[in-house]
Amino acid sequence: MIGGIEVIDFHGHAGLWDGVGMVDDVDTMVAAMDAVGVDRSCVFGIFHLDGRRGNDRTAAIITARPERFIGFAYVSPLMPDSMLDELTRAVDRLGFRALKLYAPHTPYKISDREWDPIYDFADSRGLAVLHHTDERCSPAHLAEAARRFPNARFVAAHSGNTPPARKLAIAAARELPNYYLETASTYRTPGVTEELVAGAGAERVVFGSDTPLMDPRSQIGKIITADISDAAKRLILGENARRLLGL
């Protein structure tokens, strides 16, 4: 809780990532959240290509601390025969509230038609889709999907990450009412939060930390200390996420 509002972190991982030493220990994650006033973290398991194992790991975290974590469903076009069943299971049985997609695990562009059954599922239910973006996974390709599926809400994870891709993400958010920018990133020179708000409006910017891959303290610090209004900070830190997740 910061300034009387519930703080929601829109980007967190479930699972183990050995190469970078990421461990999803629930107590450690909650302690990190408590240290910076994050009330609830959205988590997803993207490290198993079958979707199901990662979603089960996400569900285990939520079961451990249901008041602190929100699940996002992970599937991919590499599981064409099972992706809709798994999405339905994750949303209807596990209670997940949005989708997380990660094109680098596939040979496809974000705008390729192989993703369409997944986007159509989100569109039919009005769900948010957090999709990894960077220079290769272009925010412009995510915009193509957002144009085709106007009832789904597309959130560009990392806001494109690098300056050229970030410009594309901001342009897409200006053009499309169902396009949002998420703030987690290793690449953040000072001023990027201000750039996102000036370019797209604070109602389109959503705080994410990439916890526990990244330390949420620096990720939230760049929002709290940004040269933007208090009203903008409230939108970014929680109010936009509440709207996107139907909370």
Residues making contact with Zn ion (CB under 5 A): 210
Comparing CB distances to Zn ion, the nearer of 132 and 204 is 132
Give the residue at shortest CB distance from Zn ion: 210
> Minimum Å distance from CB 230 to Zn ion?
28
Comparing CB distances to Zn ion, the nearer of 60 and 213 is 213
> Minimum Å distance from CB 45 to Zn ion?
11
**What pairs with residue 40 in β-bridges?**
8
Which of 76, 9, 3 is CA-nearest to residue 214? 9
Q: Where would I find the beta strands (DSSP E) of 14-127?
A: 40-44, 69-74, 98-101
> Minimum Å distance from CB 192 to Zn ion?
17
Comparing CB distances to Zn ion, the nearer of 41 and 193 is 41
Enumerate long-range contacts of 85-93, CB under 8 Å, 24 or more apart.
Answer: 86/51, 86/52, 86/55, 87/118, 87/121, 88/121, 89/52, 89/55, 90/51, 90/55, 91/125, 91/127
> Minimum Å distance from CB 103 to Zn ion?
13
Comparing CB distances to Zn ion, the nearer of 26 and 232 is 26
Comparing CB distances to Zn ion, the nearer of 4 and 20 is 20
> Minimum Å distance from CB 46 to Zn ion?
8
How long is the chain?
247
Amino acid code (one letter) for 237: L
Give the Cα separation of 59 and 55 in Å (integer): 6
